[in-house]
Amino acid sequence: MDRVPILRIGDVLLVSIQVDLQDDIALALQDDLSQRIVDTGAKGVLIDISALEIVDSFVGRMISTTAAVSRVLDAETVVVGMQPAVAITLVELGLTLSGVRTALDVDRGLAILAGRESGVVAEADDDDQLDD
């Protein structure tokens, strides 16, 4: 079975999903990320889904669970790069990814995670935009 690679940049784990995600690979990624957070003490997880053509309820659940688990492990998850057609479909499907922070691209996602570290974003859960 293929695995999605996890890159470490400083104390951020970066995942860029470049394959049509099948369920067992998505589950393996969820497990791998949790383990890597513990192993590395990472404070942030950035998941780039710009290459994903769909996000269905299974992948949506994987993303929500990953965000929840990383929060418990003292790391924040930001999902970046969702395509507009995917966002429209996701909402119509009934998924809102509540509790998951999102950003338009990797740069903004990294800025959110950097802001958390330096304490710029005081209430990360409510603010979607980073105040510079």
Can you give the binding site for another protein, defined by CB under 8 A?
20, 22-25, 53-58, 60-61, 83-86, 88-89, 92-95
Measuring CA to CA, how many Å separate 124 from each of 95, 101, 106, 121?
21, 9, 17, 6
Instruction: Report the nearest approach of another protein to the CB of residue 26 (Å).
Output: 9
Cβ distance to another protein smaller for residue 53 or 125:
53
Is 95 or 111 the residue whose CB approaches another protein more closely?
95
Query: To the nearest whole angstrom, how small is the minimum distance from the Cβ of residue 33 to another protein?
Result: 19
